[in-house]
Amino acid sequence: MSSGTILNSRSAEAVLIGSMTLYCESFSVSAARVLCETSTVGGEGTVTNTYSKNARITLKGRAFSEEAPMYHAIELDSLLREGSVFDTDYRGMTLKNCQVQSYTVSDTGRSELDVSVVLAAEYFEEEEEE
């Protein structure tokens, strides 16, 4: 008798970014804390200030638009250049005070576009139950 790993699959999660719906297939988050250091008279390092940076959330997936496929690139570019701040939801989390930091939109000849978006989020919290 052999044992094997059972693989589960899930469908892409719809995430609203501006007016674009991204069907997210991959999500990652990273965060960092900044430590400002200076040396003491004795030559030792000491932390003089500290603060947390906004989390960086990378969403990768697909977007659909048969009429004007590159509309999504225009939408993301507008959000990036204007510094628009928005909230969005992903798998039970609300990402608060997001701004688009970077994006990539690839038209590979299929009916959907491959999209990758990096958001800077001030914080995220569990979605409230209705």
Whole-prediction pTM value? 0.79
pLDDT digits (tens, 9 = 90+) for 44-73: 888 889 888 889 999 999 998 767 778 889
Residue 67 has a pLDDT of 73
Q: pLDDT digits over 17-34, tens only?
A: 988 999 999 999 998 988
> In the CATH scheme, what is the code of domain 13-126?
2.40.30.200
- Give the strand order in the sheet containing 112-126: 13-17, 20-30, 55-64, 112-126, 93-106, 86-90
The predicted structure's pLDDT at residue 17: 94
In the predicted model, what is the mean pLDDT of the chain? 87
pLDDT (0 to 100) of residue 40: 87
